[in-house]
Amino acid sequence: MTEAHPGGKKPKEFHIKIDRVEYHVVEEELTGAQLRQLPHPPIGPDRDLFEVIPGQADRKIDDTYVVEIVNGKRFFTAPAHINPGHEVADHT
Amino acid sequence: MTTTLVVPDRLASRLRELSTYDVETGGVILARLVRTPEDNIRLLARELLEVPDHAYERREAQQLLISSEGYVPALARAEEAGCVPIWFHTHPGNDSNPAPSRHDLTVNRSLSDLFRLRADSPFYGALITSSDDGTITFTGSLDDGVSIAPIDRLWVVGPRLALYHACDSEHQGVLDIYDRNIRAFGGPVQRVLGDLRAGIVGCGGTGSAVAEQLVRLGVRDIQLIDPDELSDSNVTRVYGSRLKDVGRPKVEVLADHLADILPSIRVRPIQSMITVEETARLLLDADIVFGCTDDNAGRMVLSRLSTYLLVPVIDCGVLLSSDGAGRLDGIHGRVTVLHPGQACLICRGRVDLGRARSEMLTPEERNRLVDEGYAPALPGVEPAVVAYTSAVAAAAVAELIERLTHHGVDPVPSEVLLRLHDREVSTNNQEPLDRHYCHDSSGKIGLGLTAPFLDQTW
Ligand SMILES: [Zn+2]
Ligand SMILES: [Zn+2]
């Protein structure tokens, strides 16, 4: 495999998690939009993407936001809106 | 299996208030989970993180639209605090129905996985409250990702106590024999009494009188804890005891007696000491505990139990003094109610720490330390009289009634002192000492199971 990488340098591979699933990526930076493409099917617009930042509040990742990728980073998705109701009020 | 959500009254007042708004309100309740020895679940509510105003995209009487920023921040907090996150919202307006709508069930399905994953919690909880003339009505569920069980009961603990059943649960009927009680304080309180699980620690003069009164009052589930066997000098005070019972465990004598009064009740006699960890853990199933023991080490356990596990404890004591010539000159009774926000027995100086330490020693160690002057001698046989132990027991049981019926003075005093020799009664309230475990700032209130249990050495 080394011939594919001139100089014999193996690219770093990062293991990150989105929800419960682990993904292996080589990019050192990814935008929110790129992260959304990792799962199959990709994360739809009905869910927001968040990054877990230890010791701080979770950060919401917009499509254009650039995330520095390091090994072990955790992301999760959450319904963008929730709509609990008394009764079914039909807003179509 | 039953699931009880235990809510300190301050938090319960907020839930009640939010339920009366014109518009729906959402939030996340963080609760510590305790599995009891009888395999029930108690959720000890620690905080309510309300959806911030900016996260409401629509907020009406019949529905909410909330952005993810409205509830996601609570999940990291739940993980940090080791809590189950409970998605909470109201169905506002008087008399509205807290049953989940079709929308609500969809929301629960969409949140369950995320809540459990991000909070690192085995459960996702959901709670809906409404208001019915100032009382809370609710439905709730607990979802472990495989199956969904109801939250059956909501137990509000504080100076006043309230037990609510989920509005979709079945009520057990009330027996006709309680007619006189119902005439005094009504059917709802009678139902609560019938559903309470009570623990009684110490089954001597005071404890046995408390037990008998609880049964006649309608409490149907009672745990009795006492290590001793009945002696002949106990027969003068212990309810249900007869001379022919001398030598039998006190808890069994009393359990038989209670079952004779009303065979349908459930009584669990445990011949052990509350200072044994396994025994203390049995009280995890209790909604209320009566402390009727004379020992200081036991009182220290009960004191911590009320803080860590949000179990209201009604602790009582009787102290008679004589002038040395066989004449009574002091008849003191004390009933202290422990609940979150009030000083514990140590802050109040109601526990003798030196004696508590002595009580934990083996008799040989104790004798040696007493001889060397390093430990206080434990008192010998103290005077006791049935009229006074019974009077204090009645005062303790009356505290329970008073707190369930919500009649009487406000604020409710947390201690009643009886000076029967002077025919005087006084009451007081006392703030916890700064930095003590019973103080809000300690973070120990409703912390649940800790290692070691109750943060103490056993
Ligand atoms: Zn709803
Ligand atoms: Zn204290």
Interface A-B, measured as beta-carbon pairs within 8 A, has a size of 90
pLDDT band at B340 (very low <50, low <70, confident <90, very high): confident
Q: What is the pLDDT at residue B329?
A: 87
B192: Cα separation from own chain's centroid: 14
Give the DSSP letter of residue B243: G
Q: Per-residue pLDDT tens for A16-43?
A: 999 999 999 999 999 999 999 999 999 9
pLDDT band at B297 (very low <50, low <70, confident <90, very high): very high
Q: Which residues of B touch A83 (CB under 8 A)?
A: 63-66, 103, 106-107
Calculate how far, in angstroms, residue B370's C-alpha sits from the geometric centre of ligand 1.
Answer: 65
Q: Within 13 Å of residue B341, how many CA atoms lie on the same side as its CB?
A: 14
Q: What is the pLDDT at residue B303?
A: 96
Contacts 24+ apart (CB under 8 A), A11-18: A14/A69, A14/A70, A14/A71, A14/A73, A15/A71, A15/A72, A16/A69, A16/A71, A16/A72, A16/A73, A16/A74, A16/A75, A17/A72, A17/A73, A17/A74, A17/A75, A18/A43, A18/A49, A18/A75, A18/A76, A18/A77
Q: What is the pLDDT at residue A10?
A: 63
pLDDT at residue A7 greater than cutoff 60: no
Q: Which of B60, B68, B117 sits opposite A80 (nearest CB)?
A: B68
Q: Which of B57, B63, B110 sits opposite A79 (nearest CB)?
A: B110
Burial class (CB in 10 A: 0-12, 13-18, 19+), B248: middle
Q: Mean pLDDT throughout B382-386?
A: 90
Average pLDDT, chain B: 94
pLDDT band at B169 (very low <50, low <70, confident <90, very high): confident
Strands, sheet with A74-79, edge to edge from the N-terminal-most edge strand: A21-25, A14-18, A74-79, A47-51, A59-60
In this predicted complex, what is the ipTM? 0.83
Calculate how far, in angstroms, residue B77's C-alpha sits from the geometric centre of ligand 2.
Answer: 27
Calculate how far, in angstroms, residue B270's C-alpha sits from the geometric centre of ligand 1.
Answer: 44
B151 within 8 A of B140, measured Cβ to Cβ? yes
Q: Mean pLDDT throughout A46-72?
A: 94
Alpha-carbon distance B30 to B15, whole Å? 13
Q: What is the pLDDT at residue B90?
A: 95
B280 within 8 A of B452, measured Cβ to Cβ? no
pLDDT at residue B187 greater than cutoff 60: yes
Chain A interface test: which of B56, B63, B104 (most A C-beta within 10 Å): B63
DSSP assignment string, B134-168: TEEEEEEEEE-SS-EEE--EEEEESSS-EEEE-TT
Ranges B176-185, B269-278, B363-372, most confident:
B269-278
pLDDT band at B365 (very low <50, low <70, confident <90, very high): confident
Q: Mean pLDDT throughout B337-347?
A: 93
Q: Is A57 on the interface with B (CB under 8 A)?
A: yes
Alpha-carbon distance B88 to A89, whole Å? 20
CA-nearest of B312, B329, B311 to B321 is: B329
Calculate how far, in angstroms, residue B80's C-alpha sits from the geometric centre of ligand 1.
Answer: 28
Q: What is the pLDDT at residue B363?
A: 80
Q: What is the pLDDT at residue A8?
A: 57
Q: Mean pLDDT throughout B57-78?
A: 93
A54: helix, coil or strand?
coil
Residues 63-92 of A with CB under 8 A from B: 76-89
pLDDT band at A2 (very low <50, low <70, confident <90, very high): very low
Q: Per-residue pLDDT tens for B208-238?
A: 999 999 999 999 999 999 999 999 999 999 9
B172 within 8 A of B195, measured Cβ to Cβ? yes
CA-nearest of B384, B245, B267 to B318 is: B384
Closest chain A C-alpha to B107 CA, distance in angstroms: 6
pLDDT at residue B422 greater than cutoff 60: yes
Q: What is the pLDDT at residue B353?
A: 85
Q: Which of B72, B103, B113 sits opposite A58 (nearest CB)?
A: B72
Q: Mean pLDDT throughout A78-86?
A: 87
Calculate how far, in angstroms, residue B434's C-alpha sits from the geometric centre of ligand 2.
Answer: 8
pLDDT at residue A1 greater than cutoff 50: no
B92 within 8 A of B26, measured Cβ to Cβ? no
pLDDT at residue B144 greater than cutoff 80: yes
Calculate how far, in angstroms, residue B184's C-alpha sits from the geometric centre of ligand 1.
Answer: 37
pLDDT at residue B168 greater than cutoff 90: no
Residue of B nearest to A21 (CA): B117
Q: Which residues of B touch A81 (CB under 8 A)?
A: 57, 65-68
Q: Do B111 and A79 touch (CB under 8 A)?
A: yes
Strands, sheet with B328-338, edge to edge from the N-terminal-most edge strand: B266-270, B221-225, B197-201, B288-291, B313-322, B328-338, B415-419, B424-428
pLDDT band at A9 (very low <50, low <70, confident <90, very high): low
B321 within 8 A of B329, measured Cβ to Cβ? yes
Chain A interface test: which of B72, B77, B127, B139 (most A C-beta within 10 Å): B72
Reported pTM:
0.93
Q: Do A52 and B26 touch (CB under 8 A)?
A: no
Which residues, 6 or more positions from B379, have their beta carbon under 8 angstroms from its beta carbon? none
Nearest ligand to the CA atom of B342? 2
Which residues, 6 or more positions from B109, have their beta carbon under 8 angstroms from its beta carbon? none
Alpha-carbon distance B130 to A86, whole Å? 11
Q: Per-residue pLDDT tens for B85-127?
A: 999 999 988 778 999 999 999 999 999 999 999 999 999 999 9
Q: Which residues of B touch A76 (CB under 8 A)?
A: 114, 117-118
